[in-house]
Structure 1
Amino acid sequence: MSTWRRQWTKEHGRRLDHEERTRKRKAREGHDASEKAQNLRGLRAKLYQQKRHKEKIQMKKQIRAKEERNVKGAEAQPSTTPLPQYLLDRSNETNAKALSSAIKNKRAEKAAKFSVPLPKVRGISEEEMFKVVKTGKKTAKKSWKRMITKPTFVGEGFTRRPVKFERFIRPMGLRYKKANVTHPELGVTVQLPILGVKKNPQNPMYTQLGVLTKGTVIEVNVSELGIVTAGGKVVWGRWAQVTNNPENDGCLNA
C-alpha cells in the first residue's frame, strides 16, 4: 500500500464492508486468471503465460520450503527407543537437507543482487557499427578510416588525435555525458553524469572506444543521491546497465 493511501485510511477509515469486499476479490482471482488464460491472444497471451509460470514456480518453492520445515520440526524430538549404530546417522539427513536448501537460497539471493536487467543483448556487426570514411587522397585509396555510427562516451580531458592519424571518428552529435538511471530499490529515476564505460558485451574494442549500445555496463556518479556504505563511507560511483537503444531514443536510460 502506498504512503498516501495509508495516510488517507488513517484519516478517514475504511468502508464498513471492506473485509468482505477484500475476501470476495481474493476469491475471484482464480476465476479472473482462468478467464484471461482462455481469452488472451497473441503476444499478450505469451507474456501472461510467462508471468503465471513464474508465479507457479515461486508458489511451489514456498510450499516445498514449508514442507521441509515441517518435516524437520516433526523429527526434532529425540527417540526413546534405542537404535543400532548403522541407523544413528539417519536423523542428520533432514538437517543436511535444510542446510543445503539454505545455501541454495543464499546463492540465489547473491545472484539476484548482482544480476543485470538485460542478461542477453543483440549482437551488432562491425558493418553496422562502423561507416567507412573515404575522404582525402590517402584515405580514399586504402579506406582504413572509420566513423562510429552509435552513441559514445568520451572523458573530460579527451582531445582528438591529428586527422592524419585518427582511425576511429566519434561524432560530436552522438556523444553522451549523462544517463537517466532508475534505482530499483529506491524506486526513483535521476539524471546522473557518466564516469566511464566499464564493459560493452559486444566487443572489447567497443568498450575501449566508449560505445554505448543496449546492455553496456557504465559507471555513474551517485554522490548526489547520498548513498552510504555499511561502514559509513559515501558511495561515489555505481555501475548501471543501458536498457534502451540510445540512437533511437535520443537519451540514455540505465
Structure 2
Amino acid sequence: MPQNEHIERHRKLHGRRLDHEERMRKKAAREVHRVSKQAQKLRGIKAKLFNKKRHAEKIQMKKTLAMHEERKSKKKKEADVPEGAIPRVSYGSLKATFKLPILGVKKNPSSPLFTQLGVITKGTILEVNVSELGLVTTGGKVVWGK
C-alpha cells in the first residue's frame, strides 16, 4: 500500500462518523471567530502581513460573487422570456423571419395537450400580431407594399 492511503482505506472500509457533516459545519463556523481573535492580537509586521492577505482574499471573494451574479442574471435573461416577447417568427411563404409579438399557440404538432397548454416547440404554428408588418385589411390579411 502506498504511503498516506491508510486513511482513505479506513474510510472505504468503515465510513465516517455519523455526525461528521455537523462537526465540519460547526468547525467552519468557529473558524471565523478564531481568525477575528487572531487579527485583534497581532501587532507589527505580522499584523501588516495578515491584513494584506485578508484584504486580497476579500477582493477575490467580491470578484467571485460578482461573476456568479453576472452568470445568474445572464441565465435569468435567457430563461425568463415573457409571454408575447419570443424574439423571432418565421413566415414560410416569404422565407423571412420577423420579430413579432406572439398572441398564442394555434397548433402544436407534437401533442394536442401542448396546443391546449400553449407550449412552444419546433414546428409550432403561432398566432402573431402582424399589424406591425404593413397595411392590414378588415379581414386581417396583410397587404404587402413594394
**What is the TM-score of this pair, normalised by structure 2?**
0.47
Higher helix share: 2
Bigger Rg, structure 1 or 2:
2
Higher RCO (CA < 8 A, seq sep 6+): 1
